[in-house]
């Protein structure tokens, strides 16, 4: 059955399904219970599943992420919610030095099947300490899988696959997407291994993920009106990257723009560009281009925040420049 729901509702349904199907699954985090979650994603779950499985935690990311990792090692399937990616930095030691390493350090004897959900991204005027995009940092770390659902279908379907993964998964939900409406096919099987061509094209590849996907799609519409056929690639999974899909698109289109809300320096966009140069350099008709956030903390002021972030107009300009056209 195909239905139309919001991204927020899709994540809530995915949580609800996981909790109903597996008694080992529980949700823990700040305000996930009585308050219903900072973004109302877990609203109503406490009433259905009770405080043993919907657990409000203190404001201590290192403490409750560590508790979730311990529960996973003990045979549970915890879903840990961190309010925003900025706050996850307080739990870096637990994620990077424990969850990501135990399988390797134990010679495969132990796995850490924990899913850590967090909101990411800017565009909501909540200032720098709540607005950055650090998923590219985490994508640097071996031992964890990074997913970034950009569509309602992926928001609904990815969680089950993440819970089935024996290793830690970081699940990034761009806060600008929660009100997004889209269709969900209840019979669809959603994987967490491949990128997806969201719009086919032949002249330039627009490669992006998460909250930047709607902007890339809007840019593709504008480019079409200018006679440029843009193919839009949704990465979906940031680690491991699906090189095959990216290279195939670039070999077809021969030009590419990578759109990444992270900062330009040391960005995921830079890693993708390096891989494309390594694997498809001689297929390119123009230098690779990227559109990233400006190298500043995300501003509070609405007009400055918008100026600091990737926008459809910037993507269009970058794509046109690959054809020797200005603006």
| Spatial CA neighbour of 167 closest among 266, 246, 72 | 72
Q: What angle do CA 255, 257, 262 make, to 5 degrees?
A: 160
What span, in angstroms and rounded, lies between the C-alpha atoms of 174 and 123?
Answer: 10
The crossing angle, in degrees rounded to 10, of helices 152-164 and 7-21 is: 30
Q: Among 30, 81, 130, 305, which one carries the catalytic annotation?
A: 130
pLDDT of residue 327: 63
Active site residue 174: no
Q: Which helix (H) or strand (E) holds 250?
A: helix 243-253
The single residue of 9, 13, 30, 61 carrying the catalytic annotation is 61
Using CA atoms in the order 246, 247, 252, 258, what is the torsion angle rounded to 10 degrees? 50
What count of other Cβ atoms lies within 10 Å of the Cβ of residue 245? 18
pTM over 0.85: yes
pLDDT for res 127: 85
Task: Determine the 3-state secondary structure of 26 from DSSP.
Answer: strand
The upper half-sphere exposure of residue 119, i.e. CA atoms within 13 Å in the direction of its Cβ, equals 22
Q: Is 61 a catalytic residue?
A: yes
Q: Using an 8 Å Cβ cutoff, are 184 and 10 in contact? A: yes
User: How far is it, in rounded angstroms, from Cα 153 to Cα 130?
Assistant: 26
pLDDT at position 280: 98
Domains and CATH numbers, the chain: 2-185 (3.40.50.970), 196-321 (3.40.50.920)
> How many whole angstroms separate alpha carbon 121 and alpha carbon 133?
5
**Predicted pLDDT of residue 58:** 95
Say what the pLDDT of residue 128 is.
84
Residue 240, preceding peptide bond in cis (omega within 30° of 0): yes
Q: Each residue of 114-125: b (16+ CB within 10 Å) or e?
A: bbbbbbbbbbee
- Per-residue pLDDT of the chain (327 residues), as tens digits, is 899 999 999 999 999 999 999 999 999 999 999 999 999 999 999 999 999 999 999 999 999 999 999 999 999 999 999 999 999 999 999 999 999 999 999 999 999 999 999 999 988 888 888 889 999 999 999 999 999 999 999 999 999 999 999 999 999 999 999 999 999 998 898 999 999 999 999 999 999 999 999 999 999 999 999 999 999 999 999 999 999 999 999 999 999 999 999 999 999 999 999 999 999 999 999 999 999 999 999 999 999 999 999 999 999 999 999 999 776
- E strands, the chain, are 2-6, 25-29, 54-56, 77-82, 115-120, 145-147, 169-174, 181-185, 196-199, 204-208, 230-234, 237-239, 256-263, 289-293
Element (H, E) at 216: helix 213-225
Q: Tokens 């032949």, residue?
A: 202
pLDDT of residue 55: 98
Q: Quick one: which of 104, 103, 123, 122 has its CA closest to 113?
A: 103
What is the chain's length?
327
Residues in Cβ contact with 87 at an 8 Å cutoff, skipping those fewer than 6 apart: 61, 118
């Amino acid at each position: 059955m195909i239905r139309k729901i919001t991204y927020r509702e899709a994540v809530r349904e995915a949580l609800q399904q996981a909790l109903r199907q597996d008694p080992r699954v529980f949700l823990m985090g700040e305000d996930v219970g009585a308050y219903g979650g900072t973004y109302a994603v877990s609203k109503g779950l406490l009433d259905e599943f009770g405080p043993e499985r919907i657990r409000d935690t203190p404001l201590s990311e290192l403490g409750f992420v560590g508790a979730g990792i311990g529960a996973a090692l003990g045979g549970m399937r915890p879903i840990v919610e961190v309010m925003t990616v900025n706050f996850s930095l307080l739990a870096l030691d637990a994620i990077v030095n424990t969850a990501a390493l135990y399988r390797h350090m134990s010679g495969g004897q132990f796995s850490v099947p924990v899913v850590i959900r967090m909101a990411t991204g800017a565009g909501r005027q909540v200032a720098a300490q709540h607005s950055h995009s650090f998923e590219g940092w985490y994508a640097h770390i071996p031992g964890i899988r990074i997913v970034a659902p950009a569509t309602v279908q992926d928001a609904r379907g990815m969680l089950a696959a993440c819970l089935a993964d024996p290793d830690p998964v970081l699940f990034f939900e761009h806060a600008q997407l929660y009100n997004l409406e889209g269709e969900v096919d209840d019979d669809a099987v959603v994987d967490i291994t491949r990128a997806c061509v969201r719009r086919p094209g032949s002249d330039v590849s627009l490669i992006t993920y998460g909250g930047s996907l709607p902007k890339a799609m809007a840019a593709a519409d504008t480019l079409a009106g200018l006679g440029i056929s843009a193919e839009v690639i949704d990465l979906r999974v940031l680690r491991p990257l699906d090189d095959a899909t990216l290279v195939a698109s670039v070999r077809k289109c021969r030009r590419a723009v990578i759109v990444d809300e992270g900062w330009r320096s040391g960005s995921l966009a830079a890693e993708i560009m390096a891989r494309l140069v390594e694997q498809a350099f001689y297929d390119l008709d123009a230098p690779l281009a990227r559109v990233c956030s400006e190298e500043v903390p995300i501003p509070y002021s609405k007009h400055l925040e918008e100026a600091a972030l990737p926008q459809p107009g910037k993507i269009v300009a970058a794509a046109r420049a690959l054809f020797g056209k200005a603006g």
